[in-house]
Chains A and B, each alone.
Chain A
């Protein structure tokens, strides 16, 4: 899945608006709102510098989206207090009982003071927020971007968080919300956070929208020197997973012959052939195994897709490629590509319902690339 699939909605390249700025609406009468400063700096900020315990939020008011949506924003700072945080809202709504929605936020010091910055999911229901699952430790620097998708309207709602820390968007993990209070309706996207201690939170370039409005989703996983592939798994409710961990290299490297976390060469959200993994020269049963992210059990067995791209870099010799979908140590499906060519070839393999039904633990899936 590419992230994001929508464009920037507000670049804040204007001065002296708000609260709220044009195009934004308040979420309730209590929470503070954004302003665009009088001094041109092309960012939004929270309005009351110096205030403590300041919760701020606004919805992008032009439209509701979804239910499957995304949002993203560039963060200039997170504030100064341990509890300060800043991020995006998905499936936001207001009603007689208060604000609801998902906040996906980058907090200055996680939920434990002194523990370092972290990505956190909060489910807001009736103005009350509950942190869902575990925070994801992630250091922050000015200019980093945070974004998220929310998918699913059934028993499980999946929220995937992304960051762009200067090298493109990378998934930092998912949360699955199965609680009875999970939010399944379409809603607003927006910006939310806290600030404290006198430093105004600032951010830039907010965007998002419907996931379905974007282009088709693929992730490239290249394997030059003989093969290249793309790996992602799409389930019926459009959960997407990418490589998350090297399990065993089998002589494979990244495009720079590196051997450390080579999965990061193939986990981009936007397909790119500029980085890839590659087998050894003249491979013989060289197997690279890597883990892919966790998706919640879709509950049905249709439209489980494994997609990948491959090639060999030169028209020399014969190279065969096998791609296996593995649960734990059990092969659930294997695809063989004999005597692969030098042009990029994309494969989208759809599991039969019978094959998909053999998967019992969607948190324990791996892909193997065997060159020989």
Chain B
């Protein structure tokens, strides 16, 4: 069984805009057919960190789907010492897209690829799970202007998916 972590966006149900689901649910049947599973931790910006256990073919299919940014790391305590520059840039772009500031990113993970390579995958995930905001339906869309909330620690998700 292969493991992968993805950043997955919540999407509205078809013509039910007050209800959202994780887009990776399109692969749930395939993952479960493999004997695998997935679990999520909602994070900032209508995204979730999702750990998936599935066959290599399914993991590759999810990656090939192209809409869920993935990392090459799976073990939380793995040092990101071989992080490539393109992946470093892509992860930073994703964190900015989620709503974190460059200053926050630099303060927690460092301001250069060299500094990031001294961090573990756990430190990256925990930063991505720094905060989120409670949601509400405003009559037109789901908005994220509620109280700031803590996210589920990625370690919890890591243990739920083997």
Q: Give CA–CA (A113, B29) in the complex, Å.
A: 12
Q: Which of B36-44, B65-73, B82-90, B100-108 contacts A (4 or more CB under 8 A)?
A: B36-44
CB within 8 A of A176: which of B13, B151, B160?
Answer: B160
Q: Is A23 an interface residue (CB 8 A)?
A: no
Residues of A close to B42: CB separation below 8 A: 130, 179
B29 adjacent to A181 (CB under 8 Å): no
Q: Give CA–CA (A115, B22) in the complex, Å.
A: 15
Q: Is A126 an interface residue (CB 8 A)?
A: yes
User: A128-B137, A363-B162 known; A180 and B21 CB under 8 Å?
Assistant: no
Interface size class of A (residues with CB under 8 A): 20 to 34
Shortest Cβ gap from A82 to chain B (Å): 7
Having A128-B20, A131-B25, A181-B135, one finds 12 other A-B pairs with CB under 8 Å, namely A55-B16, A83-B16, A115-B29, A128-B135, A128-B137, A130-B42, A131-B19, A134-B28, A135-B28, A176-B160, A180-B134, A181-B134
Q: Is B51 an interface residue (CB 8 A)?
A: no
User: A126-B136, A130-B135 known; A364 and B16 CB under 8 Å?
Assistant: no
Interface size class of B (residues with CB under 8 A): 35 or more
Give 1 or 0 for each of B134-146: 1 = CB within 8 Å of chain A CB. 1111000010001
B29 adjacent to A137 (CB under 8 Å): yes
A180 adjacent to B137 (CB under 8 Å): no
User: A130-B10, A363-B160 known; A180 and B37 CB under 8 Å?
Assistant: no
CB within 8 A of B134: which of A110, A113, A125?
Answer: A125
Residues of B close to A353: CB separation below 8 A: none
CB within 8 A of A130: which of B20, B39, B156?
Answer: B20
B16 adjacent to A194 (CB under 8 Å): yes
Shortest Cβ gap from A21 to chain B (Å): 25
Q: Which of B94-142 contact A (CB under 8 A)?
A: 132, 134-137, 142
Shortest Cβ gap from A47 to chain B (Å): 18
Residues of B close to A176: CB separation below 8 A: 160
User: A111-B13, A194-B16 known; A128 and B25 CB under 8 Å?
Assistant: no
Q: Give CA–CA (A111, B115) in the complex, Å.
A: 41
Residues of A close to B21: CB separation below 8 A: 111, 130-131
Q: Which of A81-132 contact B (CB under 8 A)?
A: 82-83, 97-98, 110-113, 115-116, 122, 125-131
A364 adjacent to B132 (CB under 8 Å): no
Residues of B close to A194: CB separation below 8 A: 16
Q: Is A53 an interface residue (CB 8 A)?
A: yes
Q: Give CA–CA (A111, B10) in the complex, Å.
A: 12
Q: Is B150 an interface residue (CB 8 A)?
A: yes
Shortest Cβ gap from A81 to chain B (Å): 9
Q: Give CA–CA (A112, B142) in the complex, Å.
A: 20
Shortest Cβ gap from B156 to chain A (Å): 6
Give 1 or 0 for each of A128-153: 1 = CB within 8 Å of chain B CB. 11110111010000000000000000
Q: Is A178 an interface residue (CB 8 A)?
A: yes
CB within 8 A of A181: which of B14, B28, B149, B159?
Answer: B149
Question: Please, which residue of chain A has its CB at the minimum distance from the CB of B10?
Answer: A130
A127 adjacent to B160 (CB under 8 Å): no
User: A53-B15, A135-B25 known; A126 and B39 CB under 8 Å?
Assistant: no
Shortest Cβ gap from A42 to chain B (Å): 30
Q: Give CA–CA (A370, B18) in the complex, Å.
A: 52
Q: Give CA–CA (A22, B149) in the complex, Å.
A: 39
Residues of B close to A125: CB separation below 8 A: 134-136
A127 adjacent to B136 (CB under 8 Å): yes
Give 1 or 0 for each of A322-349: 1 = CB within 8 Å of chain B CB. 0000000000000000000000000000
A133 adjacent to B137 (CB under 8 Å): no
Q: Is B77 an interface residue (CB 8 A)?
A: no
Q: Is B93 an interface residue (CB 8 A)?
A: no
Shortest Cβ gap from B62 to chain A (Å): 14
> Could you say which of A126, A127, A134, A178 has the most chain B C-beta atoms within 10 Å of its C-beta?
A134
Residues of B close to A52: CB separation below 8 A: 15
Residues of A close to B136: CB separation below 8 A: 97-98, 125-128
Q: Is A361 an interface residue (CB 8 A)?
A: yes
Q: Is B152 an interface residue (CB 8 A)?
A: yes
CB within 8 A of B16: which of A53, A116, A134, A137?
Answer: A53
> Could you say which of A110, A122, A178, A363 has the most chain B C-beta atoms within 10 Å of its C-beta?
A178
A178 adjacent to B156 (CB under 8 Å): yes
CB within 8 A of A113: which of B14, B40, B132, B162?
Answer: B14
Contacts A/B (CB < 8 Å), 23 sampled:
A52-B15, A55-B16, A110-B25, A111-B13, A122-B19, A125-B135, A125-B136, A126-B137, A126-B146, A127-B18, A127-B136, A128-B19, A128-B137, A128-B142, A134-B25, A135-B25, A176-B160, A178-B152, A179-B149, A179-B152, A180-B134, A180-B149, A181-B135
